[in-house]
Structure 1
């Protein structure tokens, strides 16, 4: 599918240390909705392009800049425009208030937690477009991940045994350790990583519940993933 003429002058500037941002913007290119040269990472974006956008807003909402008009669309509006140009039948849906409200909420949860979800680090060089810390959306994300992980593990409960007790014990220990982190933002980072890992474990347990030693294997995997994720926080654990 070729990109529409309306997309020829559009440039999307994405967080190039965020695997999520890389994946979906690359998907736009692979689908033919966006030209490869019209997809630029923040670290490689020329200074004159950065000066033309609201940098503070762009850290939280991905910008789609129009070189011809100088107009910039941000966040969900940028995504709606790209998808709407590629698949016009969706344009009426994108105008529905309820749909826009739902997408806005999901977008906020993801954008404020994208560095936690993908476990990405600041770039070595160039502009770091990390979002500000937002306690509301961080705890909302932790709560959502916790609920989904609990539901998935509950569904898998009939086929788990001692291994599930070990998982629950280790989770309890991890939660207690997190309570001793002094800085609030670091504490929520810690619990955000923990919630993400628990969700991954729950998904694997639910998907592979008929295989032997699933919980034990996924628990070991979860310990390794969690250890990797909290490298920068370990000095704050006690």
Structure 2
């Protein structure tokens, strides 16, 4: 790989994805050994020319020699394009770049609900993205649709369940949000959307865990007992993850139990009507 020298990425050290790809740039030789630095270690000198707010939303690539900065997709294309010029060329084609910027924003603005972290001491400089209602709502809708689609297909593997459809699963998934929101109305819209984002990430994780069974069942006939057992294990792991996130968000642990109560109510309704 061709090394891009005298360039440093200011990354969010609380974001595992950011840690992974910045480390990958160094290990592959795309950046030199000083090519990454935690955002929290921003120096006073860098404060003078780095856009603090923008760098919280879009990873910043600092040119240590010229004291200039690239942000977000531009910074990533610069690093990758140094070794693969054709990628930078394709990435800068207007329609492609527009898509990449939107995709980057979708992930960046939601990274704290995809992988949350505990609040640090107020004296610590944190790389926290701005709260963006649009991208949060888009993320929730995306997760809703994918969760409903996965559950619909998985339910077809269980003959003893009444025949359902995608609309039913979508209503159930959306109903979970409404049900849980009833216990958070006094905490404000941001808290509600932060919790909902985490709630839907847990649902997405459950969908990912169920997907291997769905794929494998296309090739072999999986016994129903295994299908049910895997679903139960997935539900347990989802409960554990939900409980963990509730503690990180410093919300009432009762929300994990209302989450279960809603699911039990839905199951009883499905089995009896």
Give me the TM-score of the superposition, normalised by structure 2.
0.77
Maintained 8 Å contact 2:116/2:245: yes
- Give the superposed CA RMSD: 2.6
Structure 2 unaligned runs (5+)? 215-221, 259-273
Provide the residue aligned with 1:191 in structure 2.
196
Structure with the bigger RCO (C-alpha within 8 Å, sep 6+) is 1
Provide the residue aligned with 1:155 in structure 2.
153
| Displacement of 1:27 | 1.6
Instruction: Indicate yes or no: 2:207 matched with 1:207.
Output: no
Secondary structure of the residue that 1:126 maps to in structure 2? coil
Secondary structure of the residue that 2:95 maps to in structure 1? helix
Secondary structure of the residue that 2:126 maps to in structure 1? coil
**Mapped partners of 2:27, 2:52: distance in 1:** 27
Cα deviation per residue 1:101-122 (whole Å; 9 max; x = unaligned)?
1111111111111111112233
The structure having more radius of gyration, on CA atoms, is 2
**Mapped partners of 1:86, 1:121: distance in 2:** 36
| Displacement of 1:227 | 1.0
| Displacement of 1:88 | 1.3
Maintained 8 Å contact 2:10/2:38: yes
Instruction: Indicate yes or no: 2:110 matched with 1:113.
Output: yes
**Mapped partners of 1:12, 1:37: distance in 2:** 9
**Mapped partners of 1:139, 1:86: distance in 2:** 36
**Mapped partners of 1:161, 1:179: distance in 2:** 34
Give me the TM-score of the superposition, normalised by structure 1.
0.88
Cα deviation per residue 1:71-109 (whole Å; 9 max; x = unaligned)?
100011001111111211212211211111111111111
Secondary structure of the residue that 2:119 maps to in structure 1? coil
Maintained 8 Å contact 1:17/1:121: no
Cα distance change, pair 163–70 in 1 and its aligned pair in 2 (3 A): farther
Cα distance change, pair 234–171 in 1 and its aligned pair in 2 (3 A): farther
Instruction: Indicate yes or no: 2:196 matched with 1:178.
Output: no
Cα deviation per residue 1:140-171 (whole Å; 9 max; x = unaligned)?
11111111222222232322367999x99798
